[in-house]
Amino acid sequence: MSRLQAEEETQKAFGWAARDSSGILSPFHFTRRVNGDNDITIKILYCGICHSDLHIARNDFGISIYPVVPGHEIVGVVTQVGKKVDRFKVGDKAGVGCLIGSCGKCENCQNYMESYCSKTVYTYTIFDDGGAKNYGGYSDVYVVNEHFAIRIPDNLSLGGGAPLLCAGITVFSPMKYFGLDKAGMHLGVVGLGGLGHLAVKFAKAFGMKVTVISTSPSKQHEAIEQLKADSFIVSHDMKQMEAATGTMNGIIDTVAAVHPLKPLLDLLKTNGKLILVGAQSLEKPLEVPAMPLYGKKLVSGSMAGGIKETQEMIDFAAKHNIEANVEVIPMDYVNKAVDRLAKGAVRYRFVIDIANTL
C-alpha cells in the first residue's frame, strides 16, 4: 500500500496521551481509520475517567504500551454512518464502553458475552496483543463497528450517563447474572466509590434492601441520606458486623485493595453469593477461606457485560433516572483529576467535558 493510500484510509484525531509510567497526560495528535461500511463515527462530547485508566496510564500492572490515550466511557453524537449500518443515523446519541471487537464466533460471543471472548478488542490498547493500536476516548472522535456502539436514550444525561458504560455495567451484569435483582432481597455493597454508588442505585431501583459496607464512617450520611441505602456498616466495627451475620442474599464487592473475605462471607445467608468486581492486583491475591463456603456460599468474579446487556442496562438506567454522580472537568484538569482519583478524592466519578474543553 502506498503512503497516499494509507493516508486516505485514516483521518486525523486529537487527544491527550500518557507517554510513560509517570502517567502524565498531554496533547497528542494521531490517526484513526476512516468510517467503514459497518462503522459509525462519533464526535465525542464526554468521557468518564475510570480507575483502570489510572492503572494503565501509570503501568501499575506492568503491561502498558505507550503512548496511551485512555478512556472507555465515551458518549457523543453520530456524525457519519457506513452504508451497511442500520442501528444508527447521523445525529443519534451513541456511546462506547470497554470493548470494540471480538471474534463473533465463540460460545461467549454467541451468548452475547463478548467481554469474555479470548479475542476481545479493548477500546484502548491495554497490552500488546499483536493487533492494531487503539486509542481511547480522551479525544475528539471515535470510529467503531455499530455492533459495539450503545444507543443513548434522549432522557439520559450524557455527562452522568458516560460512567454507566463501564462502572454501571460492571455492577449491573453480576446482579442480573447471579439473580441479585429481585425485590425484597438484601444486597450488601462493599465500597462506596464509582462502582459502589451505582450498585446502590441499581439495587434500589430493583426494589432491594441495601446495606453499604465501608471502612469509612464518614460515608454513612451520603450512603443513607443521598443514595437512600437502608443501612450502613463500618467493616472494622465487629459489633456491627456480627449483628448483620447471615442476613444478606448477596454482596457486590467493589474494593480493589487486599481485604479479608471471611467477614463478608459471614454476612451471607445460606446460598449467598459474594461477587468480586474490583480490579485486583496479580501480585497480592485475595485469600478465600474454605470453611464459610460449606454453607452453600459462593465466591465469584465478574467483568463488564456484553453489548446486549450493556444496552439493557442503559435503557434501564434511563427508565429509572439512574446516572452516576459526577464532577465534570475540563481537559486540562485531567492530571489533577487522576491524582485525586488515586487518593479517592472524588464523589464519585470524574467526567471530561471533551466537546467544550479539548
**Statement to judge: residues 149 and 180 lie in one domain:** no
| Global pTM value | 0.95
∠ CA(25), CA(30), CA(34), 5° rounding? 135
Q: Are 325 and 192 in contact (CB under 8 A)?
A: no
Q: Are 65 and 161 in contact (CB under 8 A)?
A: no
Distance CA 210, CA 201 (A): 9
Pairing of β 268-276 and β 298-301: parallel
The 8-class DSSP code of residue 291 comes to G
Distance CA 314, CA 173 (A): 12
The candidate with the shortest Cα–Cα distance to 175, out of 81, 312, 279, 26, is: 312
Domain limits at 132?
10-165+323-353
**Statement to judge: residues 161 and 182 lie in one domain:** no
CATH number at residue 27: 3.90.180.10
Distance CA 212, CA 281 (A): 23
289 within some domain: yes
What dihedral angle (degrees, nearest 10) is formed by the CA atoms of 285, 291, 295, 301?
10
Q: Which residues lie below 8 Å from residue 283, measured CB to CB, with a gap of 6+? A: none
71 within some domain: yes
307 within some domain: no
308 within some domain: no
Q: Which triple of cell numbers denotes residue 257?
A: 485493595
Give me the pLDDT at residue 69, please. Answer: 98
CATH number at residue 202: 3.40.50.720
Distance CA 135, CA 146 (A): 17
**Statement to judge: residues 247 and 345 lie in one domain:** no
**Statement to judge: residues 180 and 140 lie in one domain:** no
| Alpha-helical runs (H) found in 26-147 | 51-57, 107-110
Distance CA 42, CA 191 (A): 33
The 8-class DSSP code of residue 288 comes to -
105 within some domain: yes
Distance CA 96, CA 351 (A): 14
Distance CA 290, CA 156 (A): 44
Q: Tens of pLDDT along the chain (358 residues)?
A: 433 344 458 999 999 999 999 999 999 999 999 999 999 999 999 999 999 999 999 999 899 999 999 999 999 999 999 999 999 999 999 999 999 999 999 999 999 999 999 999 999 998 887 778 999 999 999 999 999 999 999 999 999 999 999 999 999 999 999 999 999 999 999 999 999 999 999 999 999 999 999 999 999 999 999 999 999 999 999 999 999 999 999 999 999 888 999 999 999 999 999 999 997 665 677 888 899 999 999 999 999 999 999 999 999 999 999 999 999 999 999 999 999 999 999 999 999 999 999 9
267 within some domain: yes
How many separate domains does the chain show? 2
**Statement to judge: residues 130 and 20 lie in one domain:** yes
**Statement to judge: residues 249 and 201 lie in one domain:** yes
**Statement to judge: residues 340 and 232 lie in one domain:** no
**Statement to judge: residues 80 and 177 lie in one domain:** no
**Statement to judge: residues 80 and 173 lie in one domain:** no
